[in-house]
Structure 1
């Protein structure tokens, strides 16, 4: 059982929002920070939309621009683009890749919704992952090139078009692409024109190998609770897309490292001893992009998306599909950007009334996003007709 040896501490929601904003670099952006520092603080930056990841990172580091993020990713290689939590594309700190792959590679296997005759067998999965590792060891390959390389090493069955995706059927081996990343044999390489490439993370981090599972999972829980706590095992499971029972058992196995706290009559977990209130109260106006880590990782949803925000800024209960306006740590609107050359039109739809000072902070945020994206921004207030990101 989780540690109950001391009287249960309590935290208010004002404290919790203040702690999370501070630890994410959203109360005050990091000074002299690097892109990898910001990404580590938020436990990975969602990068399905790379420009959104650039904004997420830039908001958390003073003076950072998208070119700084791209340099860290493709030149300095202090960031790596790979499949992270929930099997979604993330930027992760390269030096933390052993921990991430050790933890993600240890997650219980998820159920496969594919028809039985289309699924990879366990033996085929092992064969495909081994083939990917060999094919990418010292090169970058497009998906078509990797398909050919995998088929050469496994057999034509690997290229059977049985996996639905974006209006076409993809080859059978691609069922294992997320697993290959989680086992540390695949990450993204630089685009070749408009084509995505894959390569080996060992080219980013020589001598790389995943951290042993028990140590990696413990390290990931510690990082998650530092950034998003107090939290429950169920919320951790949702963040990873892992089974709830497995997450509860993992938290129990770390009982000597965790502590329960009381939050508005409910019980949640923090790292042992991490019960101090926020260094400063939750404050400030922030414009967070699609799938920002704060929006996706913070719980409970009904607190983060109060009242009208739950109807307007969630998509079927899922967070991140809309860029959001934060006021004092909770969602108070949505926004949309449209770029034309160097011009960047930002429209903000308010779900609450802002003070004069908050309107001033909003204008500063628009200016900052323009700096990050190296564009000339213009703010408009009004209703947004564009739907959420799929």
Structure 2
């Protein structure tokens, strides 16, 4: 048996940076960026705006607004149950895989929510009818639903800002976010709003599409890393292994510094020829470069510094990426961009940080940001 090609992690980082439009940056639209990244997390809308802007040159804000306005982007609950921006014609494949998690079928979820699987099925039918061709605020939608005696007892869960009862409906393709109305969240039916929306495929048809897209941005990766990104490891092990196995010769195994992982066969030679990553990038909170492989990937983020990036309540800090690895965090304070380097990390040249700060300022619509460098507290970095 032929041994898999041996790669250094620095090569992988450089390849990912290029594939994710970070080095070099791109002039592509927000929808094209979201397509390459397998969606942009939009639980915090400003983070989604920044993730797209920092990948574009120039980094002027507004690309996401343009994509939502021209309907090349839709916002819906997708991977890990969080809000994402996705091109409408691609969204169905991701939603199909999220349906397989079936968390609403678990007795523990039913006890906490007070909602039964039958009610989820009934809600799917009712919401599809209510939202067909219209936009409704959450209050309007819920008010109409609870007028139906079948749903009167679950008004509380329906009004919850966490949307746990609405997520299965989004994954079934009958609900997505619509345009905001006076800062109120709205919902609509994707098929009636987006001309490019495509029906949701079966999970088995969607799996190779999503796996290929994921590995094209975040590979090489293991099935387990893919599932952490997709569902926080909620996919059945048997189903996950079968999805990868069914891709056959489309995938190739590689060795990255002694760790085996999979990537698209068509990308192997390109990655082998890629020199190791060099340079610095400042990325915003919840950036896909971090979320794709996950914060427990210690090649990307050394374990002693994980707590500085993966914070309480699921918050992901803005990060300093040096030679492909996370080497610190940053924040904006007044007109300063404060960079906190992790102990023992490589510090980039001051002029490189200044150039990155200019790009961040442009992406945030600011005139300028002065860089102030600091060391991350040792105790805090250790968690």
TM-score, length basis structure 2: 0.87
Aligned to 1:185: 174
Aligned to 1:68: 63
Following superposition, the deviation at residue 211 of structure 1 comes to: 2.6
Once the two structures are superposed, residues 111-153 of structure 1 have per-residue CA deviations (whole angstroms, 9 ceiling, x without a partner) of 4644627432221110111111111111211111111122234
Task: Please say if 1:11 is aligned against 2:7.
Answer: yes
Aligned to 2:298: 302
Matches within 5 A, 1:257-272: 257-272=250-265
Native 8 Å contact 2:328 2:376 kept in 1: no
CA distance in 1, matches of 2:62, 2:176: 21
CA distance in 2, matches of 1:227, 1:47: 18
Aligned to 1:359: 350
Range that drifts further, 122-131 or 240-249: 240-249
Choose which of 71, 88, 96 in structure 2 pairs with 1:102.
96
Aligned to 1:235: 225
CA distance in 1, matches of 2:263, 2:167: 30
Following superposition, the deviation at residue 41 of structure 1 comes to: 1.4
Aligned to 2:23: 27
Distance 1:353 1:174, change over 3 A: closer
Following superposition, the deviation at residue 23 of structure 1 comes to: 0.5
Following superposition, the deviation at residue 315 of structure 1 comes to: 3.2
Range that drifts further, 264-273 or 16-25: 264-273
Aligned to 1:201: 190
Q: Which runs of 5+ in 2 are unaligned?
A: none
CA distance in 2, matches of 1:19, 1:207: 31
Native 8 Å contact 2:90 2:198 kept in 1: no
Choose which of 349, 370, 373 in structure 1 pairs with 2:340.
349
Task: Please say if 1:91 is aligned against 2:72.
Answer: no
Once the two structures are superposed, residues 278-301 of structure 1 have per-residue CA deviations (whole angstroms, 9 ceiling, x without a partner) of 544312211111111111112562
Aligned to 1:226: 216
Following superposition, the deviation at residue 383 of structure 1 comes to: 6.3
CA distance in 2, matches of 1:329, 1:275: 19
Following superposition, the deviation at residue 320 of structure 1 comes to: 5.7
How many residues are aligned here?
369
TM-score, length basis structure 1: 0.85
Q: Which runs of 5+ in 1 are unaligned?
A: 164-168
Following superposition, the deviation at residue 308 of structure 1 comes to: 4.4
Task: Please say if 1:80 is aligned against 2:71.
Answer: no
By percentage of residues, which structure has more strand?
1
Matches within 5 A, 1:264-343: 264-276=257-269, 277=272, 279-298=274-293, 301-306=297-302, 308-315=304-311, 321-338=316-333
What's the RMSD between the two structures over aligned residues?
2.8
